[in-house]
Amino acid sequence: MEKEKNKKTSSLNVLSIAGLKPYKKKIDEKYMNEDQMLHFYKILETWKNQLQDEINHTLLYIQDKATNFPDPIDRATQEEEFSLELRNRDRSRKLIKKIEVTLKKINEKDFGYCDSCGIEIGIRRLEARPTANLCIDCKTLAEIREKQMTG
């Protein structure tokens, strides 16, 4: 069940769910023009709605499957399953918040540029991870720093 849900929320699958194809940049097209902004807005809105549907589905699933098993092993198995589902939904809620921040950036015409150095993040990177706020170079440096800090 969880594997199937994870497939639903991948950004490339969101493209197809939204009825969108990867953006084809035209020659001499300005970066993050209205067409590109609309493209990413649709991707993010669809992704957000999909995640929200999954959260709602999980709550219904837990309510439907909640049984007071007399056997402690069965009860523990069910509690572990519910715990895993709730952790995944918590991740989904955090992702929804990140999507909402990104949608706000689109509305403010401040989307698609690296928060650290200000250069273009790039259409392909944004299609792979629409909530990306760092270019690939800055993200790589941030990951290296994080590794050094954690040892």
- The pLDDT value given to residue 6: 46
User: Domain count of the chain?
Assistant: 1
Determine the 3-state secondary structure of 16 from DSSP.
helix
How much is the pLDDT for 12? Answer: 60
CB atoms within 10 A of CB 47: 25
Any binding-site annotation on 64? no
Q: Is 114 annotated as a binding residue?
A: yes
- 118 falls within a domain: no
Contact yes or no for 58/86 (Cβ under 8 A): yes
32 is in an annotated binding site: no
Full residue range of the structural domain in which residue 53 is found: 2-112
pLDDT tens-digit readout, 95-138: 999 999 999 999 999 999 999 999 999 999 999 999 999 999 99
Output the domain CATH number for residue 95: 1.20.120.910
pLDDT of amino acid 51: 93
In a domain, 39, yes or no: yes
pTM of whole model > 0.85?
no
Q: Which residues contact 25 (CB under 8 A, 6 or more apart)?
A: 123
Residue 44 lies in a domain: yes
151 is in an annotated binding site: no
Confidence tier at 40 by pLDDT (50, 70, 90) = very high
- Inside any domain, residue 102: yes
